[in-house]
């Protein structure tokens, strides 16, 4: 396993990395008409805009829509998730599979797998991010319909933690990124300001993609997060 606590101290190459993306929309029959090619293209635009400056861009190389009542309601760790991914997953460990489910289980907006060194065949199949389909641009997820759920989940795919990781103002490790202030709790809504660790320097990262703010509130990754993503990608996913 990669030492996740020390990864931000490793050197990272500066070349630009183009991530090939396979998008899988999985819907119930009753919601199939909600989702179309334009939403997928808009989602890709949102992702490329969000990751601009991090050293990554995304290229859509495959897209499919599947109607499956069980898969559309899958939750993380379920048999439905495994069956769906065994059927739909494409590419290698350095390629990104995005699944957009019309009725993602557990009341969640998204879930994703962190990178790991020497992934097993099962881990390769399960790899990728599952998102509520209505979180795509133009979807019906109130406050979360601008496509930034996928941005947040892909941050996890690259190895980023939440900016409130550990939920402890005294935890020096936190999200393992040096330029995100310590943060005790996730953000709700879009406050004008928030300081959950007043004895530590800096305000909460309410505009960071790795917080839980409304989509309209989010617009940044830090340079440190970019370095962590590049380093982890190069050490765990590139060429695998």
Domain count, the chain: 1
In a domain, 89, yes or no: yes
- Helix 223-232 to helix 148-158 angle (10° resolution) is 60
Show the tokens assigned to 179.
Answer: 């330029």
Partners of 60 in the β-ladder: 21
- The burial class, CB within 10 Å (0-12 / 13-18 / 19+), for 104 is buried
- SS3 state of residue 107: helix
Instruction: Look at residues 190, 87, 207 and name the one whose alpha carbon lies nearest to residue 151.
Output: 207
In a domain, 206, yes or no: no
pLDDT in tens, 131-177: 999 999 999 999 999 999 999 999 999 999 999 999 999 988 899 99
Check if 59 is active-site. no
Residue the block writes with tokens 């559309």: 72
Q: What is the DSSP letter of 113?
A: P
In a domain, 238, yes or no: no
Give me the pLDDT at residue 14, please.
59
Of 71-75, 90-94, 148-152, 169-173, the one with minimum mean pLDDT is 169-173
Number of H-type helices and E-type strands within the chain: 5, 5
pLDDT in tens, 210-230: 999 999 999 999 999 999 999
Report the alpha-carbon distance of residue 32 to residue 35 in Å, rounded: 6
Compute the C-alpha angle 203/144/179, nearest 5°: 25
In a domain, 179, yes or no: no
Show the tokens assigned to 17.
Answer: 């990395």
DSSP state string for 179-222: TS---SS---S--S---S-TTSSS---TTBTTS---GGG--B--
In a domain, 190, yes or no: no
CATH code of residue 135: 3.40.390.10
Overall average pLDDT of the 195-221 stretch: 98
In a domain, 61, yes or no: yes
In a domain, 236, yes or no: no
List the domain range (segments joined by +) for residue 111: 7-160
Give me the pLDDT at residue 8, please.
39
Instruction: Look at residues 78, 83, 70, 79 and name the one whose alpha carbon lies nearest to residue 28.
Output: 70
Q: What is the DSSP letter of 236?
A: I
In a domain, 220, yes or no: no
Given 59, 153, 165, 220, the catalytic residue: 153
- SS3 state of residue 168: coil
């Amino acid at each position: 396993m990669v030492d996740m606590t020390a990864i931000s101290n490793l050197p990272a190459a500066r070349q630009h990395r183009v991530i090939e993306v396979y998008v899988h929309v999985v819907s119930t029959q009753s919601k199939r008409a909600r989702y179309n090619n334009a939403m997928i293209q808009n989602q890709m635009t949102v992702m490329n805009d969000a990751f601009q400056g991090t050293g990554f861009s995304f290229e859509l190389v495959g897209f499919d829509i599947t109607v499956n009542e069980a898969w559309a309601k899958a939750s993380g760790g379920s048999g439905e998730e495994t069956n769906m991914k065994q059927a739909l997953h494409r590419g290698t460990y350095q390629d990104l599979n995005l699944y957009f489910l019309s009725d993602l289980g557990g009341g969640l907006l998204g879930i994703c797998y962190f990178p790991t060194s020497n992934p097993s065949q099962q881990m390769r199949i399960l790899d990728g991010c599952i998102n509520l389909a209505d979180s795509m641009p133009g979807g019906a997820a109130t406050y979360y319909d601008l496509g930034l759920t996928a941005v947040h989940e892909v941050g996890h795919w690259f190895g980023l933690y939440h900016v409130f990781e550990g939920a402890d103002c005294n935890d020096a490790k936190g999200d393992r990124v040096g330029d995100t202030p310590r943060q005790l709790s996730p953000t709700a809504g879009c406050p004008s300001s928030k300081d959950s660790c007043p004895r530590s320097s800096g305000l909460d990262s309410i505009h960071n993609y790795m917080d839980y703010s409304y989509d309209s509130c989010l617009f940044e990754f830090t340079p440190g997060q970019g370095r962590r993503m590049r380093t982890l990608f190069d050490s765990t996913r590139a060429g695998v």
